[in-house]
């Protein structure tokens, strides 16, 4: 029962509460890591044009891709709707992992979508610059909105205005 309470029922990855708890534990150790917020571009359009069952299939396929793409030591969670959070333990490989992920999402084929090209937008923040989950979440969210304003299907890294 405890395990089931920690898991998102659709994607079988960590839910928001568990994701936050696990990330806070890592941050308490002052580890350097990379915090990502990922948003599925045009999932509303998929749901509206192909149905919610196909939208759910998109989320399930992305979950499998995330599980295979990231390491077991990384934290992958769904925080709601079409948003995911990933904490990459090794910030030195984060950017190459993200670039590779964007390409793999673009290449993901879902039969019902025919030629519809999936994409994600990503916002990135680094720890320990943000010392709590909520600080990192806020910073990565700002970067995510910058990504969406500049064309989606890409990523932006949070830059502190003072730097």
- Per-residue pLDDT tens over the stretch 65-110: 998 999 988 999 999 889 999 999 888 888 999 999 999 999 999 9
Question: Would 1 be classed as within a structural domain?
Answer: no
Question: Would 4 be classed as within a structural domain?
Answer: no
Return the H-helix or E-strand segment holding 139: helix 133-149
Task: Give the distance, in angstroms, between the CA of residue 35 and the centroid of all CA atoms in the same chain.
Answer: 9
Q: Is residue 32 helix, strand or coil?
A: coil
Sheet holding 75-80, edge to edge: 75-80, 83-88, 33-40, 120-127, 155-157
Whats the size of the chain, residue-wise?
A: 163
Question: Would 85 be classed as within a structural domain?
Answer: yes
Identify the CATH number of the domain in which residue 141 sits. 3.30.70.270
Q: Could you list the residue range(s) of the whole structural domain that residue 149 is in?
A: 10-157
DSSP state of 43: H
Whole-prediction pTM: 0.90
Local confidence band at 2 (pLDDT 50, 70, 90 cut-offs):
low
The total number of structural domains that make up the chain: 1
Question: Would 127 be classed as within a structural domain?
Answer: yes
Give the tokens for residue 119.
């994409």
């Amino acid at each position: 029962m405890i395990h089931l309470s920690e898991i998102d029922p659709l994607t079988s990855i960590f839910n928001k509460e568990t994701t936050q708890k696990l990330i806070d534990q890592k941050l308490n150790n002052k580890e350097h890591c990379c915090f990502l917020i990922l948003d599925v571009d045009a999932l509303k359009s998929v749901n509206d044009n192909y149905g919610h069952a196909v939208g759910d299939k998109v989320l399930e396929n992305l979950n499998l891709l995330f599980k295979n793409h990231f390491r077991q030591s990384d934290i992958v969670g769904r925080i709601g709707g079409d948003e995911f959070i990933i904490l990459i333990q090794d910030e030195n490989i984060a950017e190459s992992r993200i670039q590779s992920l964007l390409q793999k999402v673009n290449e993901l084929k879902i039969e019902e979508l025919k030629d519809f090209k999936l994409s994600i937008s990503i916002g990135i923040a680094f720890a320990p610059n943000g010392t709590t989950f909520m600080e990192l979440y806020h910073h990565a969210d700002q970067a995510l909105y910058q990504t969406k304003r500049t064309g989606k299907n890409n990523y932006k890294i949070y830059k502190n205005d003072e730097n």
